[in-house]
Structure 1
């Protein structure tokens, strides 16, 4: 070989990075006292053929990339080191011929893909239109139907897989999730006798909270069969049957109208930006005049780059067909469909705290999660949650709650002159 892997590493990243690559050819690169990163030939091929997070993830999941002392359940410190200290340099003109010869000798063929990667048929047009009902159902199943037992370990007793709202940094995850549900309920102005529709309801946390603490009747819908089964059993256990219901259904199958409030917590990411008009129009038509909508979803810090990279780690391993955009696009889509936007806020820092807490749960129950879902899935979740934490901390992604009303023809919105939702809260218990 004209150049060793260690030499190529030093030429691309520099010899002083705080990592030490130990390659299959016996060569070493990076700082001698740096954290060891062991790479096989197949692993190098993953990295070269898919530069960035996708190639690194493939090599790691296939066992072709090992990093000394890395916590598989929470690789946050490793990801931060990669991001801060492992930045490729612009090759010099002198280096280019040697690097080109090195790449030619290594080869540019994508090896076998990890079985945890989203299967190809999900991405074929013949398999269904993007965000069509069949394909949406399969994308949701890919992510949410891992195992209720797995989610119980990672999410904790609340079984809430959306951004919590921390009343203080000292609050526990369970306290923060209860505070989030209560904040949504208060923003919606829930009161006894009202009817709530919760679309994309997950394991029914918002439904059960609203019925228990606010005396409403609530309908939740989810495309995940496992979620619906879990939520229905919990509703029975808590004696809420008759007032709370969770259906295994597409939100577009809800025929009831005249709801006093609609909550959408973590669903918009799956809708597709092009479908926002139809989505918000549908939710508007479910509400009575003066009714409120609370839309809670992950957003981008700008409105110029909607979607997710189709070849990125998140789209391939975690959220097939997921799409994000800025809060401005969401507000515009809501207003264009007849909503009057009354309030919005960014809970970005809260999601960084939430994902850190989920990583802590995954770490505490690592062996059980691996036994339940397999090592590959558990590793995917460690990467996904730790990477998400870093992205929220560094403002690459955000979390917005947008509150709006279906204001009536007479101009009545149903809102008081000043907001009241920060005045009270309930305990996690």
Structure 2
């Protein structure tokens, strides 16, 4: 059977109506690398392909047509109107990899667009409500406060983190750590690598028994408890109420209440100061690039002279492009999230008067971490769906698999930046060479 492209070019007089698969073929620049099937019975791509994509409903076509790109595909996939075959919805990594490597889309001519429109019909081209997992667009979030105001930040964090602690236990594993692990080798388990990450942060900050640590954006308190087990007095802050409640219970269960506390609080409301160290593990992505000077200035104000600050965050590989996230990430994963290169982070840390002493990129480590989270989601799929619904579970599978690919391809990176607050004579009182392994 010949394809539409092989049969004819669109005739200017009476162009033939197109099937869904023919439209897909026209828009694809080159061969379709997987089997595509549509609800109208049409197909494209090799019959023996390992992976497939099934467009199941007209609603899925509307999602794809009214929001071209990652947002439209996410809407169709999250709603169940678009299925991927040959892989599990908890880990569509392999299909995303094939699409990244072998599928490109071209800009059709005006005549082609007209024929596609006529073939689909106006009814399918009218925008409809997105799946319920989608956050409001940026321009409508103003009702929740100005960008990165306390109110709006709280709403954004709640959207992502107040999903279900049980769901996170399924996906993250016993460490309840939702940040990049640090692998000594690829044979390490996720739990070993997460423990190693906390050891690395602890050692970089030169913490010892009796020291005071502020952990900003502490999540479920894993860093808080790691330090408290070693005699450090710790305050953690998170904007997620569910995280704070889970963390406080875990602290009590371990008998660490005399040393550790996790507050449901904006970091800007922390009044204590003179800390020996501040850790910020996975928070900078949420505060907004324009707020870096204020944030790092706040951190400096909380440190004693000679105190150390470690910033651990996702970054871009350069400092030139827009910091704002793409449509899918902004609407389904991290509303108002922003990323920029490590150069901007280092510059703004330096500009508030902290001295940067070390930085390293753990990009490949995050790809390994995400692969393990996807495996956990697949292994616990039924429990995850029962806890949060299939749509939300699909969001997570798509997001984590896509992020894994992004870290592998150097679309995003993960940097740890270590800095120190000098005394009034410019002294740091630190060893001459790195003191951690």
Q: Name the counterpart of 2:387.
A: 372
* Cα distance between partner residues in 1 of 2:235 and 2:250: 14
Alignment of 1:103-142 (within 5 A): 103-106=117-120, 107=122, 108-119=125-136, 123-142=140-159
Greater shift after overlay, 114-123 or 269-278?
Answer: 114-123
* Residue 80 (structure 2) aligned to one of 63, 77, 81: 63
Q: Of the candidates 285, 289, 301, which is equivalent to residue 269 of structure 1? A: 285
> What's the CA shift string for 1:149-181, capped at 9, x where partnerless?
111111000101000000111000000001000
Question: TM-score, normalized by length of structure 2?
Answer: 0.92
SS in 1 for 2:229: helix
Is 1:241 the counterpart of 2:257? The answer is yes
Q: Is the 8 A contact 2:215 2:280 kept in 1?
A: yes
- What RMSD in Å do the two structures reach over aligned CA positions? 1.6
Aligned-partner Cα distance in 2 for 1:208–1:13:
51
Distance 1:132 1:104, change over 3 A: farther
The aligned runs of 1:233-382 (5 Å cut-off) are 233-309=249-325, 312-382=327-397
Alignment check: 8 A CA contact 1:149 1:372 kept: yes
Deviation at 1:29, TM superposition (A): 2.0
CA deviation string 1:281-332 (max 9, x = no partner): 001000001100000000000001242245x111100101100000000001
| Matched residue SS, 1:124 | helix
Can you list the C-alpha shifts for 1:334-377, whole angstroms capped at 9, x where unaligned? 01101000000000000000000001111111100100111111
Structure 1: gaps of 5 or more residues: 423-429
Distance 1:306 1:12, change over 3 A: closer
Alpha-carbon distance in 1 for matches of 2:143, 2:179 = 32
The answer as to 2:169 corresponding to 1:152 is yes
Once residues 134 and 125 of structure 1 are traced to their aligned partners in structure 2, the CA distance between those partners, rounded to angstroms, is 10
Displacement of 1:122 in angstroms is: 8.4
Q: Which of these residues, 80, 92, 102, is aligned with residue 116 of structure 2? A: 102
> How far 1:185 moved relative to its partner?
0.6
User: In the aligned structure 2, how far is the partner of 1:394 from the partner of 1:256?
Assistant: 41
What is the number of equivalent residue pairs in this alignment? 417
Residue 160 of structure 2 corresponds to: 143
* Residue in 1 that maps onto 2:44: 29
Tell me which residue corresponds to 1:75.
92
Counterparts of 2:271 and 2:424 in 1: how far apart (Å)? 23
Q: Structure 2: which 5+ runs fail to align?
A: 1-15
User: Counterpart of 1:414 in 2: which secondary structure?
Assistant: coil
* Cα distance, 1:259–1:309 mapped onto 2, change above 3 Å: closer
Q: State the match for 2:7 in structure 1.
A: none
Once residues 97 and 122 of structure 1 are traced to their aligned partners in structure 2, the CA distance between those partners, rounded to angstroms, is 33
- Paired with 1:385 and 1:253, the residues of 2 have a C-alpha distance of 32
Matches within 5 A, 1:179-258: 179-213=196-230, 215-258=231-274
Equivalent in the alignment of 2:11:
none
TM-score (norm 1): 0.94
Q: Distance in 2 between matches of 1:122 and 1:134?
A: 16
- Matches of 1:309 and 1:195 in 2, distance apart? 35
Q: Return the offset for 1:14.
A: 5.4
1:48 aligns with 2:28: no
Number of the residue aligned with 2:10: none
Q: Contact 1:217 / 1:244 at 8 angstroms: preserved in 2? A: yes
